[in-house]
Structure 1
Amino acid sequence: MRPGRYSFLPILAAVLLCFGIVGAVIARSFGQWLVLVHLIGAAAVFCVWGIHWFFSGSQPKACWSSWLIETNVGFRSFLLMAQCALFLGFVVCGNWLARHYDVRWDLTSSGEFSLAQQSRQLLENLKQPVRLVAVGAPATIKRSGIGQLLRLYQRHNSELVSTEFVDARVNPHYVEQELQMKPGDLLYLEYGRGAEKKTVRLNRVDEETLTGALVRLVKGDVRKVYYIQGHDEPEIYGQEDENLSAFMAALQEEFFSVEGIGLANREKLPQDAALLILASPKKNLSAYEQELLVDYVRQGGALLMLYDPLTVKAIPEIAASFGVEIKNGVVLDQMRRAHTAPETGWQIITNVYAKHPITRHFSVRDFSAFMIAAPLRASQAPDREMECVEFVLSGPQSWGETQLKLLFGRQAEAAFDSEKDFAGPLALGVACEGGQLKASQDRPDHALAPLPSTSRLVVFGDSDWLKNVNFNLYGNRDLIMNAVNWLAREESGISMRAAGKRFSAAVVSERVFSMVLGLSFLVPELILLIGLFICWKRRRIES
């Protein structure tokens, strides 16, 4: 039986009604104009069809029967069964593949669903088994993300890393007696076998804390860092903005113990020092103290120096002993901000890094911020004692301003002078290492006497970037901790730390939201209606 001219109206009404309901669910309101148009349109179309059906006396059943009843029912039933079987086969195969092959793709720009390079490197180099036991209610573990984090650790080394989840309410004896967990502890971490087994309990569970605890267990000891005092250096305790307590706390999190030390009354420096730190002394060091530090590095020690412009000459003199020149000036950069003219500033925000172990995992997306920095230069003289690399540099629009009276005067003015100033890019950090020098091609018979391979030196032209107020800006923390790990010969700790979640939601106006909602509805709706209309038209012609 041939479908009537108005038999397409109920299909149109059904489509409008379905899209209207879905739109109301998405918009969480029936008051959106697009939703109202769909619902009112569906009601109007259905009423028109109902009036036509009532007055024409036609039966909808006859119209629908010509759509649904076909002569070859058996063949169509076979096709339907085959399609269902094929769909079920795809589901079963997909489930089997998912259970036997764990493949993940983290498409987030910050890698928030993956482990950091430091964590992956640590897990790949494990020599002993690791046991991770999370304690808490299953719902709490799932909601806090602890379960997902532990499974990521297990996935990177399933042979040596095992995970457990224990409910303290169900097994209180096991938690208190066997694991010896205290109230507030969330994770039990065990490394090693038998008598060599080491354990630690954590009351905070995130990647940075967990990887740091595992690093401490793998190392088995705490390295000592000595902070040189007695020359009006910044304080390492206290929460004031000008102190370095945040830097010291980061060292302790990486399992370095920090201890103050004076130089004036010492004949030699401690043998257990992983490195020494000399940070922006305001009073000059004596010739004996400078010689003590130079001899310490030449005998295989590691030294980190943080210099500030217009301060004492001790750090430039010590650095010059190893081929690092600290120039008399301040690095300035031409900054361009949105909707403003270019302006000159001494806060250097850079993402220019040279190839070096300290910056191995840095890219153009990783920035570091220096406040008032002096320009550095690594010597390339053939008779130098250490191989030096300028591993952090300012941008190409920067220069080294030497006329400091103009810069710090009452009317601060600065402009690049090609005759007096230093053209950029300029080094902000230099790293030196002994034991890597070779004979020069110009002087092949010149036998160099390099320092021991353990001799390492890192010099920064600024110390303000590590003060509490600036320590967590951009990648400052990662840069200095990488430098410390390199100085302490702990290359396994050199990496970018765990990436945090980045807020990426876009705030849109109600007008834009309505436009997006309308387009996302109208386009598929029109395609569906056109397809149904063509199908209905063909049926009508065939009938």
Structure 2
Amino acid sequence: MGIGARVVSGSWSPLALGLLIAGMVLIGLWLLFLGSFAPGFWGRRSTQVGTNAFVATLSVLVILGLFNFLAVRSGVRVDLTENQLFTLSPLSQRVVQNLEQPLKVWVFNPNPNQADRRLLENYRQYGSNLEFKFIDPQKELGLARKFNVQSLGEVYLEYGSERQLLQTLSEIEPLSEIKLTNGIAKLTSDRTDTVYFLQGHGETPLEPGEGGLLQAANALKEKNFTVETFNLIQESQVPEDASVVVIASPKEPLFEAEVQALSAYLSQGGSLLVMLNPDINPGLDSLLADWGVGLDNRIVIDPSGQVTGFGLATSIVNNYGAHPITQDFAGQYSLYPLARSVETIPVEGIERTSLVITNEETWAESEPETQPLDFNPESDSQGPLDLGVALSRKATDSDFISEKPKAEEEKSESSEASPKPDDEEDAEEDSEASPKPDDEEDAEEDSEASAKPDDEEDAEEEDAEEETTDKEQSEPIIDEDSEASSKTSDEENAQEKDAESRLVVFGNSDFATNGWFEGQINSDVFLNSVSWLSNQEEEAFSISPKEQQNRRVNLTQKQTAALAWSALLFVPLFGFTTAGVMWWQRR
């Protein structure tokens, strides 16, 4: 009882100490009583068996206590949900771990949802710089005015001097890992990349509805990308601020001038994402051939698509190449309806990596209109097949790589030029080279040996001091020039190192359209491709957070009645009938 009182109260109160001492005294008196009045008690068999049972029980309790103690001190959680709902995605973990200064999450809700609190505590496990607090705006009026809170449930992020409204919580919309991770990444990032979608030839539009790319565009905006469209016919060249250019299944071929503009953009260190469905000729054969890429016009058939209900023409992929885009995709599935394979040949200076690879049961079908679809070794290509590849090489435009400001060249030329005219240099050389007569030398020696007037000595001392001062002032100028030239050289080397052209080609664009974009990890394939093309750090590539899927079964009134009768009548009746038959047989 004393130990129990200590656990409940949290401290050794007088009551807990009194109960502990009283219990120990009573146990001692009981042991003395047994030794004095029952001398044969300890030798009895029942006493030995009871003692062994007591020691064994006590040992089990101590072991269980130790296990619980270790579990509390260093707990291990196992997430058995389908989408790992209670485990932060690798992207969320890295975003929190890379916080350089404290980030505060202010939740203006006096009655927090336990799921929201659990999510924030999960974030804090991966980074000590993340803090969160639930605030009652009615009591904390100063904080409510500071953040200009308009309604209950608003969530704000504060990072240094910057503040950002994340979302407004409600019973329908709890705190979202996707919004929280993207909000933190957007607030802590100091760069904004612009993604341009090519339009003008029937490309997939950035519109809602089936076949549009609105979901993909919105996902890019949430990741701090700026999304724009452009027409090469009207602008004649790729915009200078373009980080990535996306070409999504144009229905009409591009003009030769447009292809040349895209090739020039790539040669200057640009990045291009090409997504092409079968039976489409975009006119990019020359550009892709320069990179060693070819597109097979045959449709990829996947028998596993029929089993899962998507159809034979939908490729279900869970095999990915070793690349920053797909580094965390192991064991995850992505879907590609009506895809074509991407073929490559080695080209000197180009690094090539397969991104999306089908299984061995797939094949490229040359006659999809023939039923049933069977593999024909004479006209079809057996899997595995590449549905997406990533390529990179050093920028080939010499003007782009070696471009230097003219002012620096003029400065370097002027620093190398001599400040003295040629006539003066020749005169000095002649004066140094011509020997002096002996009489003049003796006269100079005599004059040096003779005492000088005070005025001349003072003048010489002043001249010496001025020369010393000039030397001291000139030395830092030389150092600054050398440091500036060294810094310029480092920047030029870094520019040459970063001057890399990148190209990602998919034999399918439907995987990124509305509806398919949110299927499995299709969104991660698209977003990671754009992130890699925009030269973002590898920490930004990962599997995006997943939201809980609605697994409710909506039953009609008849189905509900049938289920009720089955549970209340048929199941018990079946049990009683089985029991009656067994009793009759054994009677």
Using the size of structure 1 for normalisation, the TM-score is 0.67
Partner deviation per Cα, 1:143-184 (whole Å, 9 max, x = no partner)? xx11111111112112x122212122332x134212322215
1:370 maps to which residue? 336
Contact 2:358 2:386 (C-alpha < 8 Å) held by counterparts: yes
Cα gap change, 1:87/1:504 in structure 2, threshold over 3 Å: closer, same or farther?
farther
Contact 1:327 1:374 (C-alpha < 8 Å) held by counterparts: yes
Equivalent of 2:109 in 121, 128, 136: 136
Superposed counterparts of 1:140-539, under 5 Å:
140-142=112-114, 145-158=115-128, 160-171=129-140, 173-183=141-151, 185-192=153-160, 197-204=162-169, 205-237=175-207, 239-335=208-304, 345-364=312-331, 366-381=332-347, 383=348, 385-403=349-367, 407-408=368-369, 412=371, 414-435=373-394, 454-490=500-536, 491-501=538-548, 510=567
Structure 2: distance between partners of 1:108 and 1:286: 53
Contact 2:335 2:520 (C-alpha < 8 Å) held by counterparts: yes
Structure 2: distance between partners of 1:165 and 1:72: 63
Consecutive unaligned residues in structure 1, runs of 5 or more: 1-69, 438-449, 519-543
Structure 2: distance between partners of 1:291 and 1:339: 43
Cα gap change, 1:344/1:81 in structure 2, threshold over 3 Å: closer, same or farther?
closer
Cα gap change, 1:149/1:319 in structure 2, threshold over 3 Å: closer, same or farther?
same
Shift of 1:314: 1.9
Structure 1: distance between partners of 2:520 and 2:181: 21
Structure 1: distance between partners of 2:300 and 2:308: 25
Larger Rg belongs to? 2
Partner deviation per Cα, 1:203-239 (whole Å, 9 max, x = no partner)? 25211110000000111343211111111112202x2
Shift of 1:335: 3.9
Structure 1: distance between partners of 2:510 and 2:110: 45
Structure 1: distance between partners of 2:292 and 2:391: 9
Partner deviation per Cα, 1:239-293 (whole Å, 9 max, x = no partner)? 2212111111111121211111111233432222220111111111111101111
Shift of 1:328: 2.7
Cα gap change, 1:331/1:201 in structure 2, threshold over 3 Å: closer, same or farther?
closer
Contact 2:156 2:163 (C-alpha < 8 Å) held by counterparts: no
Structure 2: distance between partners of 1:181 and 1:424: 57
How many residues of Structure 1 are paired with residues of Structure 2 in the alignment?
414
Residue 297 of structure 1 aligns to a residue in which SS? helix
Task: Give the partner amino acid of 2:315.
Answer: I
Contact 1:376 1:427 (C-alpha < 8 Å) held by counterparts: yes
Residue 237 of structure 2 aligns to a residue in which SS? coil
Partner deviation per Cα, 1:355-394 (whole Å, 9 max, x = no partner)? 1111111123x1111111111112224x2x4211121012
Residue 196 of structure 2 aligns to a residue in which SS? strand
1:106 maps to which residue? 78
Structure 1: distance between partners of 2:139 and 2:51: 53
Structure 2: distance between partners of 1:79 and 1:288: 93
Cα gap change, 1:91/1:311 in structure 2, threshold over 3 Å: closer, same or farther?
closer
Contact 1:397 1:424 (C-alpha < 8 Å) held by counterparts: yes
Structure 1: distance between partners of 2:526 and 2:499: 21
Task: Give the partner amino acid of 1:426.
Answer: L
Task: Give the partner amino acid of 1:125.
Answer: N
Structure 2: distance between partners of 1:346 and 1:199: 45
Shift of 1:115: 0.9
1:62 maps to which residue? none
Cα gap change, 1:454/1:244 in structure 2, threshold over 3 Å: closer, same or farther?
same
Using the size of structure 2 for normalisation, the TM-score is 0.63
Consecutive unaligned residues in structure 2, runs of 5 or more: 1-37, 170-174, 397-495, 554-562, 576-587
Structure 2: distance between partners of 1:472 and 1:154: 28
Q: Do residues 127 (structure 1) and 100 (structure 2) align?
A: yes
Task: Give the partner amino acid of 2:157.
Answer: L
Structure 1: distance between partners of 2:125 and 2:163: 22
Cα gap change, 1:199/1:452 in structure 2, threshold over 3 Å: closer, same or farther?
closer
Cα gap change, 1:233/1:451 in structure 2, threshold over 3 Å: closer, same or farther?
farther
Structure 2: distance between partners of 1:289 and 1:116: 40
Partner deviation per Cα, 1:98-148 (whole Å, 9 max, x = no partner)? 77x35331231543222110011111222121111222123x432xx1111
Task: Give the partner amino acid of 2:196.
Answer: Y
Residue 314 of structure 1 aligns to a residue in which SS? coil
Structure 1: distance between partners of 2:317 and 2:280: 24
Shift of 1:339: 12
Contact 2:300 2:339 (C-alpha < 8 Å) held by counterparts: yes
Percent identity of paired positions between Structure 1 and Structure 2: 26
Cα gap change, 1:347/1:103 in structure 2, threshold over 3 Å: closer, same or farther?
same
Cα gap change, 1:313/1:98 in structure 2, threshold over 3 Å: closer, same or farther?
closer
Cα gap change, 1:372/1:93 in structure 2, threshold over 3 Å: closer, same or farther?
closer
Residue 328 of structure 1 aligns to a residue in which SS? strand
Residue 264 of structure 1 aligns to a residue in which SS? helix
Shift of 1:505: 10
Q: Pairwise CA RMSD of aligned residues?
A: 3.8
Shift of 1:300: 0.9
Contact 1:222 1:257 (C-alpha < 8 Å) held by counterparts: yes
Superposed counterparts of 1:52-71, under 5 Å:
none
Contact 1:369 1:476 (C-alpha < 8 Å) held by counterparts: yes
Residue 482 of structure 1 aligns to a residue in which SS? helix
Contact 2:236 2:258 (C-alpha < 8 Å) held by counterparts: no
Residue 514 of structure 2 aligns to a residue in which SS? coil
User: Higher helix fraction: Structure 1 or Structure 2?
Assistant: 2
Structure 1: distance between partners of 2:142 and 2:571: 56
Contact 2:267 2:395 (C-alpha < 8 Å) held by counterparts: no
Structure 2: distance between partners of 1:275 and 1:168: 43
